[in-house]
Structure 1
Amino acid sequence: MELHDVWFVLIAVLWTGYFFLEGFDFGVGVLTKLLARNRAEKRVLINTIGPVWDGNEVWLLTAGGATFAAFPEWYATLFSGFYLPLLVILLCLIVRGVAFEYRAKRPEEHWQRNWETAIFWTSLIPAFLWGVAFGNIVRGVKIDQDLEYVGTVWDLLNPYALLGGLVTLTLFTFHGTVFTALKTVGEIRGRARTLALRLGLVTAVLALVFLVWTQADKGDSKSLVALVVAVAALVVALMANQAGREGWAFALSGVTIVAAVAMLFLTLFPNVMPSTLDADWSLTVTNASSSAYTLKIMTWLAAIAMPVVLLYQGWTYWVFRKRIGTQHIAEPAH
């Protein structure tokens, strides 16, 4: 296996890790409107992801940086062609981070309510747009002979990509719901399990249509295995949720995300951005990659840094592993 193939796999792993981790905290952000009934329950939801949301976003920074360094042509075409949706995602992530930090800085109800509304929308919009973006990457976009995107933003709003956006939105929200059931106690835990069943059924239908469409259009035997794993894991996650096994439900919803993202990358390889104008103009792991020397240096750096990052983030989750409920929410200090 060549180094550019290795880095395609590593970037796929980074995006998978990002969607697994940021997926549930996007979902929890959406649940601040769907699940919480009062101010205390909203604080419970926000506190479940409070210690980890910023660490989860590190995976996005790493995935973007790795793409820039390993596949500069892919990075340039992707960020120029998808400029508007990626800018919206970036702005949402900035506002979302500010909302988490500033929400409790003042005691006025309207101040806190406005920041909670910001958390909801800046969780929902990226969860949808990431599916649209990856749907277009897999489907292919208008790339010319100079390896440049020549389409418009309206070309990105096609039925396949919009369905992909609905899948990521519902799947991330379902992932966040089972995470909430795993991390909370009391009444909110029971309502989370009930909502997870409803969301899971909707997610299963949308995901099945999207993945079967992908398989029929670009799939092979390997992607078919990933499709079966994704669907089976989602079904078993629903069963585990109904049985009150929140840990298994969360793990299996994560497997669903991992298998679904793996399927997309399997159907994509060896392309990184297919051209719908001419297959010969597609960006591939070969014509979009950096030099072998650059990839070699990056490989050594990744081998040293990645284990440290994984150990630190795993330790963070271990420290904040306990369940919380409204009884753990202190009165405001103001």
Structure 2
Amino acid sequence: MELSTLWFLLIALLFIGYFVLEGFDFGVGMLLPVLGRDERERRVMINTIGPVWDGNEVWLITAGGAMFAAFPEWYASLFSGFYLPLLLILLALILRGVAFEYRGKRPAASWKRRWDWCIVFGSAVPAFLWGVAFANIVRGVPLNAEHDYTGNLFTLLNLYAVLGGLTTVALFLTHGAIFIALKTVGGIRHRANLLAERLGVFAVLAAALFLGVTLLRRATPAAVVLAVLAALCLIGGLIANRMPSRTDPAGRREGWAFVGTAAAIALAVASLFADLYPFVLPSTVDPLTNSLTVGNASSTPYTLKIMTWVAVVFTPLVLLYQGWTYWVFRRRIGTSHIPEEPAPAPASGGRAV
């Protein structure tokens, strides 16, 4: 296997990891005002992703760095042509990170409510725009002979791309609801199970329509197989979410449900990359001469060789550390684990009642 193809597969793997792990982060954030009926329940939801959300974003940073080093032409054309959507994603992620840190700085309910909506916004915008971006990458964009993007923002907001954005939102909402059910106890767990059932119907329909349109346009045998497996895993996860647990009479098989939705997202993203190969960014102007491929967009073989050795050394260490983090914070939590917030101190000169 050529090193350029190997790095295409590694970048695909990094984006798969990002969407699987950050996907439930986005889902939890979007569902914060839906499942969290009071402040303690919202704190429970935030605490389910508190130890891992920033680590999950490392997958995106690594994927961007790998793309820059292994496929500089792809990186340059993508980040210049998709500049505004990617900037909006970056700003939303910054806002979400700030909201996680600042919502607990004051006891006022209005203060927390504003930051909660920042978390919702900071989760929904990337969830939608990542679907838009990847739909355009697979569909192709107008590139000239110099591989420069010649469209505008509205070129990217075509019907196929909007369908891709709605699909990722639906999948992440379902994935997040099942993750909340997996990580909590009590009423919030039960409500998350029920909501996952309803959201799952929309996720199945949206994913089936999007992957169906994608495969009708240009399909490889590998892409078709992966798409079918993704659909089966999503349906299997939703079935597991309805089945009672053998060990916990109060719950369902959320563990298998989460495995199903995670596998569905992973296989769906893999299907898109399989459909894309050997292109990395097709051109809709002149697909034969203007498109970027694994061959004409890659770095020199020497650069790829050095990167491969670096990846061999450091990738296992990163995976072990992140796996250890999930293991340490594997237990369920509920409102009983959330301490009451202290009452605000009386104003200066006032008298406590």
Larger Rg: 2
Matched, 1:154 2:154: yes
Q: Which residue number in structure 1 is paired with residue 132 of structure 2?
A: 132
Distance 1:128 1:250 in 2: 21
Q: Which residue number in structure 2 is paired with residue 275 of structure 1?
A: 283
Matched, 1:261 2:280: no
Distance 2:105 2:215 in 1: 49
1:245 to 244, 253, 269: 253
Alignment of 1:194-205 (within 5 A): 194-205=194-205
Shift of 1:38: 1.1
TM-score (norm 1): 0.99
Shift of 1:37: 1.1
Q: Which residue number in structure 1 is paired with residue 219 of structure 2?
A: 219
Amino acid across the alignment from 2:255: G
Distance 1:33 1:16 in 2: 28
Q: Which runs of 5+ in 2 are unaligned?
A: 244-251, 345-353
Shift of 1:7: 0.2
Distance 1:147 1:287 in 2: 11
Distance 1:177 1:246 in 2: 10
Alignment of 1:300-319 (within 5 A): 300-319=309-328
Q: Which residue number in structure 2 is paired with residue 63 of structure 1?
A: 63
Distance 1:252 1:203 in 2: 13
**Equivalent pairs, count:** 334
What whole-Å deviation, never above 9, does each CA across 1:271-325 have from its counterpart, x for those lacking one?
0000000012100011111110000000000000000000000000000000001
What whole-Å deviation, never above 9, does each CA across 1:9-31 have from its counterpart, x for those lacking one?
00000000000000000000011
Q: Which residue number in structure 2 is paired with residue 179 of structure 1?
A: 179
Across the aligned residues of Structure 1 and Structure 2, the Cα RMSD in angstroms comes to 0.7
What whole-Å deviation, never above 9, does each CA across 1:30-62 have from its counterpart, x for those lacking one?
110221111111111000000000000000100
What whole-Å deviation, never above 9, does each CA across 1:182-220 have from its counterpart, x for those lacking one?
000000000000000000001000100000111111112
Matched, 1:288 2:293: no
TM-score (norm 2): 0.94
Alignment of 1:25-104 (within 5 A): 25-104=25-104
Amino acid across the alignment from 1:254: A
Question: Which structure's residues are more often helix, by fraction?
Answer: 1
Distance 2:34 2:267 in 1: 27
Q: Which moved more, 1:154-163 or 1:105-114?
A: 105-114
Equivalent position SS for 1:281: coil
Shift of 1:107: 1.1
Shift of 1:128: 0.4
Amino acid across the alignment from 1:332: E
* Percent pairwise identity: 60
Q: Which moved more, 1:23-32 or 1:35-44?
A: 35-44
Q: Which residue number in structure 2 is paired with residue 145 of structure 1?
A: 145
